Amino acid sequence: MTAKLQIRIAIVVVLAIALLTGCSVHLPGQPSEAERWRAPAEISDFNQLYTQNCAGCHGVDGRLGAASSLNDPLYLAFVTDDAMRQAISKGRIGTNMPAFSEQAGGHLTDQQIELLVTGMRSRWSKPDEFKDIELPRYSVDETGPTSGSSPMIDKSPRRLPKLRRLRAALRLTRPIVRVATEQMAMADRQARSLIRIF
Ligand code: HEC
């Protein structure tokens, strides 16, 4: 037996052992533990749940989708967890928002819906931005654009006009509040220096 042949046999034996024992041999295309298929009810990862069920309409990362942004700190400051839970579980009649809870014919468990609600809050809300502002109580705006003239045609609830009005109001009032606060501080300083003089 030549030395070359011996080396070849040795390589084949080592490869065969590695393949048979499966040790550290990762076949191309073989899913890793993280990638393996899971039954839908087993999924407990926010990103996977959101990407598979919501991103198509509400956008990757909750923004720039066809449906309203969920990654919106003002919306998240305004909406209650319960209202989000309700919308996800039961859907929004009159819009494309489907019902996701198993009770309503969807395929998400209550725990998964909870995970979505808490996940959106922890990732996308910025409560500090709104801590000095008293926001109105969350409610779905029931007045569609055509209501009044022909309420039979469009009775779908919409929150966007309300949120838009709220955003516009904040844009107006915020600088006023800021200026007022600065002026109060100035008046306060002047009063204090006057007190020192007299
Ligand atoms: C087929 C498209 C579609 C899919 C998929 C979808 N949504 Fe929606 N969603 C909508 C539409 C349309 C609305 C109503 C938007 C509005 O009122 O402006 C909505 C509304 C909502 C609201 C209520 C907003 C409010 O008025 O306060 C929440 C919360 C929400 N969706 C979360 C989700 C989550 C979480 C998922 C994934 C589990 C999801 N949506 C999947 C289309 C969709």
The Å distance, Cα 4 to ligand 1 centre, comes to 67
pLDDT at 104: 93
In a domain, 177, yes or no: yes
pLDDT at 175: 67
Q: Is the CB–ligand 1 distance for residue 58 below 6 Å?
A: yes
Give the chain as a DSSP string.
--HHHHHHHHHHHHHHHHHHHTTT---TT---TTTS---GGG---HHHHHHHHTHHHH-GGG-SSSSPPSS-HHHHHHS-HHHHHHHHHH--TTSS----BTTTT-SB-HHHHHHHHHHHHHHH--GGGGTTS-PPPP--B---TTTTT-TTT----B-HHHHHHHHHHHHHHHHHHHHHHHHHHHHHHHHHHHHHH-
pLDDT at 191: 75
Looking at the CA of residue 140, tell me the nearest atom of ligand 1: 26
pLDDT at 35: 78
In a domain, 66, yes or no: yes
pLDDT at 147: 38
pLDDT at 62: 94
In a domain, 162, yes or no: yes
In a domain, 64, yes or no: yes
Tell me the average confidence (pLDDT) per consecutive run of 10 residues in the chain, 198 residues long.
79 69 70 79 91 94 91 89 93 89 94 97 90 76 42 48 75 69 74 71
Range of the domain at 111: 41-141+156-192
Long-range contacts, stretch 94-98, CB < 8 angstroms, 24+ apart:
94/154, 94/155, 94/156, 94/157, 95/67, 95/156, 95/157, 96/57, 96/67, 97/57, 97/67
In a domain, 25, yes or no: no
In a domain, 15, yes or no: no
For the chain, the domain total comes to 1
Please report, for the domain that includes residue 117, its CATH number: 1.10.760.10
pLDDT at 59: 94
Looking at the CA of residue 84, tell me the nearest atom of ligand 1: 29
In a domain, 92, yes or no: yes
The Å distance, Cα 133 to ligand 1 centre, comes to 26
In a domain, 197, yes or no: no
pLDDT at 135: 78
pLDDT at 70: 94
Q: pTM of the entire structure?
A: 0.68
